[in-house]
Amino acid sequence: MDKYKIGPVPTPVDSVLTERFTTIEIATIGHFRHRGFVRSNLRPLAPVLGTLAGTAITVAIPGTDSTMLHHAMSVVRPGDVVVIDRLGDVRHACLGGGVAFAAKTAGAIAVVLDGPCTDPDEIVEVGLPVFCTGVSPITTRLNDLGGALNLPISCGGVPVIPGDLVLLDGCGILILPLDEAQEVLDEGAARQARANRNRARIAAGEKLGDLSGASRLVEHSLNIAE
């Protein structure tokens, strides 16, 4: 049995679709959808401005070994998000300044890692958004233990298929199957537009409780109590 398993490089998500998703906050989607959100303990090393949207390139590597992650850098393209399944390891950092630089140079827009990274200052200097569980000084090696590239994985408690749409911002990470993306986009865009209109109305002097209906509910309850 081959210890290294490699699937086909996925078709990039349509750039028109990714561009439209960059106008929607992930928390806006969280108002109507609960599936696909990666665990909240995967946090960005540095503040992320706006929403990022890209194509999932999936990697799974065991314990102390990062051989397949290094190899994966050869297939990363502009607009990709490298999503890494550490197969339960929480001690060894597979991503540092060197790998982050390689990913950024290849065109990756972000890395999602369900384990720790190392060299956090170098990664921030590289300018590649990295979402991970924390930082560790203990690193992986090229131990030739095996791994998977562009096959289904699990990251942060969410299944990820190569080619899935990955959305990232300061609130978190959302994995979207492509066949669900348009429906989510339509609903998310409508809600985002409504939120933007409400901000403008509040800036003009209207009250949040009046806009949301909360004040009406409170007043109704008080009237009943009287």
Q: How far is it, in rounded angstroms, from Cα 47 to Cα 49?
A: 6
Query: What does the block give as tokens for 106?
Result: 């290849």
The answer to whether 94 and 137 are in contact (CB under 8 A) is no
99 is in an annotated binding site: yes
Nearest Cα residue to 168 out of 56, 15, 26, 29? 26
134 is in an annotated binding site: no
The answer to whether 174 and 36 are in contact (CB under 8 A) is yes
Let me know if 176 is exposed, middle or buried by CB neighbors in 10 A (0-12, 13-18, 19+): buried
Query: What does the block give as tokens for 171?
Result: 């609130």
To 5 degrees, how large is the angle CA 97–CA 98–CA 102?
115
Pick out the residues of the known binding site: 96-99, 119
Q: Which residues are annotated as a binding site for substrate?
A: 96-99
Specify binding-site residues for Mg(2+): 119
